[in-house]
Amino acid sequence: MPAAVRHDWTRDEVVALFALPFNDLLFRAHAVHREHHDPNAVQVSTLLSIKTGGCPEDCAYCPQAARYDTGVQAQKLLEIDEVLQRARAAKDAGASRFCMGAAWRGPKDRDIPKVAAIVRAVKDLGLETCATLGLLGDGHAQALKDAGLDYYNHNIDTAPEFYGEIIHTRDYQDRLVTLEQVRDAGLKTCCGGIVGMGETREQRAGLLQALANLPAHPQSVPINQLVPVPGTPLANAEPLDPFEFVRAIAVARILMPRSIVRLSAGRQQMDDAVQALCFFAGAGSIFLGDKLLTTGNPDVAADHALFRRLDLHPMEVVEQANTVHADIAEGVAASCGQGCGCSAAA
Q: How far is 29 from 249, CA to CA, in rounded Å?
A: 9
Q: Residue 232: is it exposed, middle or buried by C-beta count within 10 angstroms (0-12/13-18/19+)?
A: buried
Q: Are the C-beta atoms of residues 227 and 255 closer than 8 Å to each other? A: no
Q: Is 130 annotated as a binding residue?
A: yes
Q: Is 191 annotated as a binding residue?
A: no
SS3 label, residue 129: strand
Q: Is 190 annotated as a binding residue?
A: yes
Q: Are the C-beta atoms of residues 188 and 154 closer than 8 Å to each other? A: no
Q: Which residues are catalytic?
A: 55, 59, 62, 99, 130, 190, 262
Q: Residue 258: is it exposed, middle or buried by C-beta count within 10 angstroms (0-12/13-18/19+)?
A: buried
What is the dihedral angle through the alpha carbons of 134, 138, 141, 143, rounded to the nearest 10 degrees? -120
Q: Residue 120: is it exposed, middle or buried by C-beta count within 10 angstroms (0-12/13-18/19+)?
A: middle
The total number of residues written for the chain in this structure: 346
Q: What is the DSSP letter of 79?
A: P
Q: Is 278 annotated as a binding residue?
A: no
Q: How far is 157 from 3, CA to CA, in rounded Å?
A: 26
Q: Are the C-beta atoms of residues 100 and 150 closer than 8 Å to each other? A: no
Q: How far is 240 from 248, CA to CA, in rounded Å?
A: 11
Binding residues for [2Fe-2S] cluster: 99, 130, 190, 262
Question: Can you say which residues are annotated as belonging to the binding site for [4Fe-4S] cluster?
Answer: 55, 59, 62
Summarize the annotated binding site as residue ranges: 55, 59, 62, 99, 130, 190, 262
